Amino acid sequence: MIDDNSIELLSIDISEPKIETHKKRWKQISLTDLNNLEEVIGKFSPTIVIHLGARTDLDGKTLNDYNANIEGVRNLLKILNKVQGLKRAIFASSMYVCKPGYIPKDFEDYCPHTIYGESKVLTEKIIRNHNPQYVWSIIRPTSIWGPYFGEPYNLFFKIVLSRKYFHMGNRACSKTYGYIDNTIYQIQSILESDEQKINKKIFYLGDYTPYNITEWSNEIALEAGFKIPEIPYFIFRCGGWVGDLLKNTGVTFPMTSFRLRNMTTDNIINLDLIKEIAPHLPVSRKEGVRRTIEWIKNN
């Protein structure tokens, strides 16, 4: 595995790092700021680039709201063309290039259901059309969770730990999620794999065993020391309608119709491609829950 003490690292982000010790490697620059981005990247002259920067919330109203995802990747590609010695790059997309439950026939079969998803479809098309000369891969992370996560990925933990989550009988679904340490291992495995295995390929990232939501929520509650009750499904439906009405007035409510559909729609992703080059995930789901709740308690 890559040892970050043996290589020089640079972090470029519009937001400051959540970990204090990372600030010494950080430059505050927007992906849409072409001139400053080019100056800093050109001076650093990287041999490897991992592009994770994006707006990822679902609150945008138009594609222009996600300009960091569209013009941002155009800017980066333009700059990387000029970097001498660049060997590899990984570009992050999203599983939301297809709506939950949709099974694409190939990696160019798109079915986004949010404007954010549409912006990531454009991200992928821009990269493919550009077709860089260096070795490149696209990753589609699933819902990645663990210490230091933020919205929307921490909402499930927030709802369960605040005891606002209730079982809905056999309506609970199964989904592909990914614990953060396992995702890092998968990204490192892409960087370390032979060129022919990863060049110009797209990889979904996530844990290899799908998460049954009932089982996972029980693990979270058990670690926190309580038991989750069960209520009839129609109450969830009513809660979704209430949440929709409150959202229109700017009030946040733990349930909406959109969230309920996500909670009851299976979304199991085929991870065979990444599993081939990263076969042994280092952290179990239960251990990930323990570490995450410990981090929440301390923060």
Mean pLDDT of 236-262: 83
Mean pLDDT of 134-156: 92
3-state secondary structure of 111: strand
Dist. CA 107–CA 127, nearest whole Å: 13
Confidence tier at 5 by pLDDT (50, 70, 90): low
Dist. CA 92–CA 73, nearest whole Å: 10
DSSP-assigned letter for residue 267: B
Please write the tens of the pLDDT for every residue from 261-278: 777 888 899 999 999 999
Query: What's the fold here for domain 11-153+176-229+268-291?
Result: Rossmann fold (3.40.50)
Handedness of CA 40, 44, 47, 52 (dihedral sign): negative
Residue 266 is predicted with a pLDDT of: 87
End-to-end Cα spacing for the chain: 29
Residue 252 is predicted with a pLDDT of: 78
- Say what the alpha-carbon torsion angle 157, 162, 167, 168 is, to the nearest 10 degrees: -90
Check pLDDT > 60 for residue 4. Answer: no
Check pLDDT > 80 for residue 57. Answer: yes
How long a stretch of residues is the chain?
299
Mean pLDDT of 273-285: 98
* Listed residue (115, 140, 118) closest to 58, CA to CA: 115
Dist. CA 194–CA 189, nearest whole Å: 10
Q: Where are the domains of the chain?
A: 11-153+176-229+268-291
- What is the pTM (predicted TM-score) of this model? 0.89
Q: ω before 210 within 30° of 0 (cis)?
A: no
Ramachandran area for residue 45 (φ above 0: left; ψ -120 to 50: alpha; else beta):
left
Please write the tens of the pLDDT for every residue from 177-216: 999 999 999 999 999 999 999 999 999 999 999 999 999 9
